[in-house]
Amino acid sequence: MNIVQILFWFLSVVALFGALMVISSKSPVHSVLWLIVTFFSISGHYILLNAQFLAIVNIIVYAGAIMVLFLFVIMLMNLNKETEPRKNRWLKMAGAVAGGALLLVLVAALKDSDLKQQEALVKTGNIGLIEELGKQLFSTYVVPFEISSILFLSAMVGAVVIGKKD
Amino acid sequence: MYLLTMDWWLVLEKAILVAFIVTISLVIAMYTTYAERKVAAWLQDRRGPNRAGPFGLFQPLADGGKLFFKEEIIPVSSSRFLFILGPSLAMITALLTSAVIPWGGHLHLFNRDVSLQIADVNIGILYIFGVVSLGVYGIMIGGWASNNKFSLLAAIRGASQMISYELAMGLALIAVLMLTGSLQMSRIVGSQVEGSNYWNVILQPVGFIVFFVCALAECNRTPFDLAEAENELNFGYHQEYSSMKLGFYLFAEYINMFISSAVMSTLYFGGYDILPFVDETKWGLDPNLLSILGFAALMAKTFFFLFVFIWIRWTIPRFRYDQLMNLGWKRLIPLALVNMLITAALILWLKK
């Protein structure tokens, strides 16, 4: 095993363990903190693929901003183990079945796709670096990029309208 | 074993550099506490600490010793693991930032070119941003884990303030990045050092002021130290902390000050450039000596900014919370946006 493989396995174990802890820990604050651990290990995977820009943006946007807002809400509402509502047993069962069905669909869809034959470019390839990514976004994918920016703008306007005192 | 094919000299070189930079940050943070008290005394016409050692120079050691030997108290109703994690995170994020700052040019030692920068990554400045945005967690986790409503309120204040000012900071930075055309810290400094190029502060005075104000807010320094407003919140987010865990919180603040001063000197004041408008390589000095002089120049600029931080603390009173938010969202962000647009337009116009 070379060092990239060791890192890959380490990060994968951390990511899966973190994701399991997100759904299994009782306290919502702990769940959020485990989710942050998961984001970090995913950023580690990005770095292994030489996608430095994606890795750091993942940390800035998800771990640094969105998760902080999650924590805000959870801390202000003072959610903890005691306030955790009792869940319906049938609801749990239905959730497990629905999640399992989704997993089945994903596995079936990816099993025969040609993605499987493609090998990831480790430590090489510059598509994840900022210059190449910017060029791609503003030439090949310019229309979807602009449309999503308009979507963000309208979301921002909507948030301001909702938050405005009148 | 594939592991052994690594360039062990590189690992050794980087390890020495990391140890050196961390030690320097810690020592400087230690003596910034001393400087803070001396400058405060000077501004208020007092003498300041002068009992421990000559001119009170051993005062930081005495303070550190006091913090180490105090009783460790972990409140019963706190969540124990997170209570300890809070100050550790504050300290770790404070120290992580120094990894991408170019502390000097190259040294030529034992037939190797040693770069005085720990990691010259492609996304340098974004790395700093990422680590800074994680600094919020130290405060939030510590404040929440103490299970005290004053700590929680202070933590939430601090976190919302840091998030708000990060936006304006980012917008101010974009203008610098457009001038340089790269996110790499070494390229940002390089473009200022080369020949007789201008320092970025001359091209970006408004951007620098926005960045500086945001840096004050990010470090939770006066006039933005709402997170530790004693008259409203007792002591702030570290109220339940005692002994060295409290020390780590206070210490992390000083390390943050040091690092943000270094970042400001790097981005806007030419980094390790000794004099503006002068090509230092024409002085005919030994390149190693020139690198060391460059490091000294960066340190001098950093110390100046540290002094300004302290000066502001003992001159300007604290903002009210609504004033803080109005300044951040209604003044600094539009100002930074306009600055960014004008810079972009000028760059396009001049390049035509």
What are the two backbone dihedrals, phi and then psi, of residue A121, each rounded to the nearest 5 degrees?
A: -85, 110
pLDDT of residue A143: 93
Average pLDDT, chain B: 84
pLDDT, tens digit, for every residue of B121-147?
A: 878 888 888 888 888 888 888 888 888
Tell me whether residues A75 and B160 touch, CB distance under 8 A: no
Which residues from B are below 8 Å from A59, CB to CB?
A: 130, 133-134
Between residues 66 and 125 of chain A, which touch chain B (CB distance below 8 Å)? 68, 71-72, 75-76
Q: DSSP string spanning A11-40?
A: HHHHHHHHHHHHHH-SSHHHHHHHHHHHHH
- Rounded to an integer, what distance in angstroms lies between the CA atom of residue A144 and that of residue B153? 41
Exposed (0-12), middle (13-18) or buried (19+): which is A7, by Cβ within 10 Å?
Answer: middle
CA dihedral of residues B217, B87, B93, B267 (deg, nearest 10): 30
pLDDT of residue B226: 74
DSSP annotation of A78: T
pLDDT of residue A121: 66
Average pLDDT, chain A: 84
pLDDT of residue B1: 45
Residue B210 banded pLDDT, cuts 50, 70, 90: very high
β partners of residue B108 = B113
Probe site for chain B from A37, A54, A60, A129 (most B CB atoms < 10 A): A60
Residue A84 banded pLDDT, cuts 50, 70, 90: low
Q: Which residue has the higher pLDDT, B110 or B299?
A: B299
- The type of residue at B171 is L
Probe site for chain A from B7, B160, B180, B183 (most A CB atoms < 10 A): B183
Residue A97 banded pLDDT, cuts 50, 70, 90: very high
Residue A16 banded pLDDT, cuts 50, 70, 90: very high
CA-nearest residue to A72 within chain B is B156
pLDDT of residue B155: 85
Of A29, A59, A68, the CB nearest to B130: A59
pLDDT of residue B57: 86
Cα of B67 to nearest chain A Cα, Å: 29
Yes or no: say if B226 and B321 are a contact pair by the CB < 8 Å rule: yes
Token pair recorded at residue B76: 């019963």
CA dihedral of residues A72, A56, A30, B224 (deg, nearest 10): -30
pLDDT of residue A166: 66
Tell me whether residues B137 and A52 touch, CB distance under 8 A: no
Does the structure show a pLDDT above 80 at B177? yes
Residue B184 banded pLDDT, cuts 50, 70, 90: confident
Does the structure show a pLDDT above 60 at A27? yes
- Residue reference for tokens 């890795």: A55
Average pLDDT of the segment spanning B167-191: 86
| Angle of helix B205-218 versus helix B149-180 axis, rounded to 10 | 160
Lowest mean pLDDT among B45-59, B106-120, B318-332: B106-120
pLDDT of residue A51: 82
Tell me whether residues A64 and B6 touch, CB distance under 8 A: no
Q: Could you report the predicted ipTM of this complex, rounded to two decimals?
A: 0.81
Which residues from B are below 8 Å from A60, CB to CB?
A: 126, 129-130, 133
- Rounded to an integer, what distance in angstroms lies between the CA atom of residue B71 and that of residue A100? 52
Does the structure show a pLDDT above 80 at B2? no
Between residues 285 and 324 of chain B, which touch chain A (CB distance below 8 Å)? none
Does the structure show a pLDDT above 80 at B352? no
Q: Which residue has the higher pLDDT, B112 or B101?
A: B101
Average pLDDT of the segment spanning A124-133: 75
pLDDT, tens digit, for every residue of B293-350?
A: 888 888 999 999 999 999 998 888 888 888 888 888 889 999 999 999 999 999 889 8
pLDDT, tens digit, for every residue of B58-90?
A: 888 888 888 888 888 888 877 788 888 888 988
Does the structure show a pLDDT above 90 at A151? yes
Residue A137 banded pLDDT, cuts 50, 70, 90: confident
Chains A, B: CB contacts within 8 A come to 62
pLDDT of residue B80: 82
Prediction pTM value:
0.86
Of B2, B134, B156, the CB nearest to A64: B134
